[in-house]
Structure 1
Amino acid sequence: MQVRQQETVVPASSPPPRAISLPEWLRTAADLVAALGTEFDADRERLIGLQERLRAERCHLAVLGQFKRGKSTLINALLGAPVLPSAIVPLTSIPTFLHGGDGLTARVVFENDKPDARFAGADAEALGEFLRQFVTEEANPRNRLGVEQVEVTCPAAVLQQGLVLIDTPGIGSTFRHNTEATLNFLPQCDAAIFVVSADPPITEVEVEFLKLVRGKLARLFFVLNKADYLDPDERRTAVAFLQRVLHEQAGFADVPPIFCVSARQGLAARQKTDAAAWEQSGMNDVEQRIVEFLLTEKTDVLQRALARQAADLLADVSHRLELTRRSLQLPLADLDARIQQFADRLVEIEEQRIVLLARLARDEERLAEAVAQRAAPLLPKCLHFLQRVVQESQERDNAHWTEESARAALADAIPSFFEREFGAAHQACDAELRVALQPHRRRAEELIATVQRIVSQLFDLRCDAAPKEIALTTADRPYWRTHRWVFAGSASIPPSWIDRLLPQRLRHARIRHRLTEYVEYLATRNVGDLRSSITDNLHASIQTFRDRLTAAIEQTIQTTRTAIETARRRRTEDSASVAPELARLEAALADLQTLRQHLAPLPQ
């Protein structure tokens, strides 16, 4: 490793003698670490990465509601422009993610690697017409275009603050399995707004949906839209009724506040820049008491986490500087003896690392087997469900029952059933995975702490470096996940001409026989696909954790070696430079200590 030629220079970017904000604090820390030498480049990159995380952090707010409740109009009001098509016709099964950006753009992502469709322009209505081609049932019935999701950027002020609005297909939409896909998606979001309206305030379908949603979100807000159609007494009655239903039927222990709005009036007010009308529409309360609260809350949590990580990183840098300084002060023979002792102890560390990875591999096999065991009872459950679908279709159509109508009923039922089962299986597997990885995480962190203690003991240093934490998962942006469940065989079996000549009883018996084989194929294939998908996710998660664990251990060992070897090389190559180098290290340590004291207090 090379050291930049600054042996007699105190780093130029000394921290200012005042409390500074976290972004400025991180920039100053990165500058200080950059001045230390190329062996600290990785630390500088990590500090820059923390700055990027702070800048890129987003608060994901899903908007839920039944058809014709005014979800899209509510979002358009927050944006201040008619970006989303209004639901005069039902929307199809596609979520729309709205991000902040310099202009109006849209990207339509398709399944099966089909090239994206894109829009860029300045006209919000033109963007709305572009989106209408893909997200409405009228233009894209049953999502025949194979759209996976839509991403929109908009220069709206509310999005520039870091909010991502997500217009979900919600409930009561064309495809029943959208409800299951929505339920699987919501835990990835920070919060959701559930939109109801005065006609009627809430339906049985919505109540059943809310029973399922209640435990999946940290925060759920309620908006009563179209409140402009009600007089003050009617509005109070509607709010009281809605709160009572949420408490008594949907199971909300605390009566949630209800925001009464007219999204239509709010959009008009924003387009006219009429602050008084915006306030009167009720949308100002939604923007300030929901959106701004969420952004502030999430930013505070993130800042505390990043400040802790940065402080731990600087403590580690200071520890290595102390190690280099101590190595420069030792007689050369003494230094060589301690280096050899450190190498000997690393043999033990490597043996423990191998044992740790072997235990992790055994747990991986056990978890994969648990997935298989969990999928086993799903096959008879699926068979029973699909057989019941066939039976109900026959009872419904009676004499007019055909194989085609039964297959259509199966095609309609399968996505909803398997999205629900996939969500439950994925949630159970994720919970088991976190529990299983915790002991491995602790052992790895103990192994890293052991390396730090060995160094401190060998070189007479304080062992005050913060313990390294190894993350179990990486928090990525939420993504909408649906699957192409199989609901058709490799080839449709046309009904035999003989069927048309047979009496109804015999004809139906032949159809039931063919459908029995068909149902067995569908159940076996989809259960197998579900098991394979969960298992693949499991292996990918464990591999990510394994890589992170190995990298953390190797990084601790390598940076320690570098600190010692840098000092030894300087001792042997140019003994005259030792005194200036010691002075530089003293100054750097003082600067780092001062910086750690000047971070402005963060919200608790």
Structure 2
Amino acid sequence: MQINILNHFIKAYEDAYNIDFDKSFEGQIKMLCKKLNEPFMHPSYNLIQELEELSFSLDKNINIAIIGQFSSGKSTLLNLILKKECLPTGVVPVTFKPTFLRYADEYFLRVEFQDGSDEITHIEELAKYTDQRNNVKETKSLHIFAPIPLLKKITLVDTPGLNANEDDTLTTLKELQNIHAAIWLSLIDNAGKKSEEDAIKANLELLGENSICVLNQKDKLSAQELENVLNYAKTVFSKYFKELIAISCKEAKDETKYEESNFNLLLDFLDNLDEKALKQKFTKRKMLHLCQVLEDENRLFVDIFDKLANQFQIYQEKL
């Protein structure tokens, strides 16, 4: 009877952990995640969750975050990409939860709550969940679905402004741990300023190797002024970003001025991102981090066992 129970346990263990994976990059990462998740590795619950999320992310879109100071025009820019006035804009800091833009055949909104539940509703209901004045604190994240072909390959993440309230900043940092690249959006008046560079430096680890700096409101400058600003901004910002472009969301909203808005340059950048390369870089970086976490956790176990052994030895000597 005991032999049968043991054999059953061994078979169940092998079925759970002895799984064949293909030789592709994704297959090998999934195999490594499975190995790190085996019981003898003693992974914590949080580490198990992160390993599962990483494995699952291999089959999902890459995430591109929109980062910037409040009032830099993030919501307006995303509305232009969505081809619909979905995200509320205004002088009051309204966006307080991460908002994900995903592909679907029609527009709709999915609201995810802190208790794990969700709700599907009309896109017009979005403002109800993004206005701080409504104090809808149980909302965890918002997911806008739209029939935009670009969203078939990437997921855009609208984040709270970096100078919004403290809770928003913490939420932003947590969400940005799972992005593959970023769009740093800044007003062209701030191009090259020390305050803007300080903000970039403070969030440097969140910007991947394929991030782009987008300077909004170029319509405020003459052609010569724009050239001077871009030349100066490139000397300051080029070491932080793969590319730097100036756009005008105001002009992009006007069909007669769309071409001169340079908005197509941003769309081309997003459309030409190398998904495979970005995903591999992100996965390798994440895996190195998780291996370090596991090593730290195991070191903690060893320290605890050593302390227990010392206490036990002291106890024996006193007997």
Using the size of structure 2 for normalisation, the TM-score is: 0.65
1:298 is aligned to 2:275: yes
Shift of 1:81: 1.9
Measured against aligned partners, the alpha-carbon deviations of 1:440-462 in whole angstroms (never above 9, x if no partner) come to xxxxxxxxxxxxxxxxxxxxxxx
1:102 pairs with 2:105: yes
1:132 to 127, 133, 138: 127
Work out which of the residue numbers 221, 229, 243 in structure 2 matches 1:238. Answer: 229
Q: Does 1:210 align with 2:221?
A: no
For residues 281-292 of structure 1, the aligned pairs below 5 Å read: 281-288=261-268, 290-292=269-271
Which of 185, 191, 207 is equivalent to 1:195? 185
Instruction: Look up the match of 1:93.
Output: 96
Partners of 1:45 and 1:163 in 2: how far apart? 25
The 8 Å contact of residues 186 and 214 in structure 2, kept in 1 or not, is answered as yes
1:432 partnered with 2:289: no
1:84 Cα deviation from its structure 2 partner: 1.4
1:65 aligns with 2:68: yes
Residues 30-80 of structure 1, C-alpha deviation per residue, up to 9 Å, x if partnerless?
xxxxxxxxxxxx979999x98xx8995312100011121111111122222
Match of 1:222 in 2: 213
Give the Cα–Cα distance (whole angstroms) in 1 for the partners of residues 58 and 180 of structure 2: 17
Long gaps (5+) in structure 1: 1-41, 121-126, 304-425, 439-534, 536-604
Q: CA deviation at 1:144?
A: 4.1
> Which one of 145, 152, 170 corresponds to residue 153 of structure 1?
145
Q: Can you list the C-alpha shifts for 1:509-544, whole angstroms capped at 9, x where unaligned?
A: xxxxxxxxxxxxxxxxxxxxxxxxxx9xxxxxxxxx
Query: Rg bigger for which structure?
Result: 1
1:45 and 1:257 map into 2 onto residues whose CA distance is 36
Q: Distance in 2 between matches of 1:257 and 1:45?
A: 36
In structure 1, how many angstroms separate the alpha carbons of the residues matched to 2:250 and 2:170? 29
Q: Which blocks of at least 5 consecutive residues in structure 2 are unaligned?
A: 1-18, 28-55, 281-285, 302-319
3-state SS of 2:112 partner: strand
SS in 2 for 1:94: coil
Q: Which amino acid aligns with 1:293?
A: N
Residue identity opposite 2:204 in structure 1: R
Contact conserved, 2:99 with 2:142, CA < 8 A, in 1? yes
Give 1:314's aligned residue.
none
Coordinate RMSD, CA, aligned: 3.7
| C-alpha contact 1:196 1:202 (8 A) present in aligned 2 | no
Q: Equivalent residue of 1:215, what SS?
A: helix
With normalisation by structure 1, the TM-score equals 0.36
Q: Which residue, 120, 125, 140 being the options, matches 1:118? A: 120
Question: How far 1:131 moved relative to its partner?
Answer: 1.2
Distance 2:205 2:277 in 1: 24
Matched to 1:211, the amino acid is K
* Conservation of the 8 A alpha-carbon contact between 1:79 and 1:157: no
The one-letter code of the counterpart of 1:265 is E
Distance 1:265 1:187, change over 3 A: same
Deviations 1:188-247 (A, max 9, x none): 201000111134436655433311322333222100111112111221232234334436
Q: Distance in 2 between matches of 1:213 and 1:85?
A: 25
Deviation at 1:291, TM superposition (A): 0.5
Give the CA deviation at 1:91.
2.1
Deviation per residue, 1:473-503 (Å, 9 max, x gap): xxxxxxxxxxxxxxxxxxxxxxxxxxxxxxx
Task: Output aligned runs, 1:2-81, within 5 Å.
Answer: 56-81=59-84
Q: Does structure 2 retain, via aligned residues, the 8 Å contact 1:70–1:87?
A: no
Structure 1 residue 302, shift from structure 2 partner: 6.5
Separation of aligned partners in 1, 2:221 and 2:279? 41
Q: 1:61-460 to 2 correspondence within 5 Å?
A: 61-113=64-116, 115-120=117-122, 127=123, 129-137=124-132, 139-140=133-134, 143-160=135-152, 162-173=153-164, 175-201=165-191, 205-218=195-208, 219-246=210-237, 252=239, 257-269=243-255, 277-288=257-268, 290-294=269-273, 297-299=274-276, 430=290, 432-433=292-293
> Are 1:72 and 1:87, in contact at CA under 8 Å, matched by a contact in 2?
no
Q: Give the length in aligned residue pairs.
A: 246
Equivalent residue, structure 1, for 2:12:
none
Question: SS where residue 102 of structure 1 aligns?
Answer: coil
Contact 1:183 1:212 in 2 (8 A): no
Secondary structure in 2 matching 1:265: helix
SS in 2 for 1:133: helix
AA aligned to 1:299 is: K
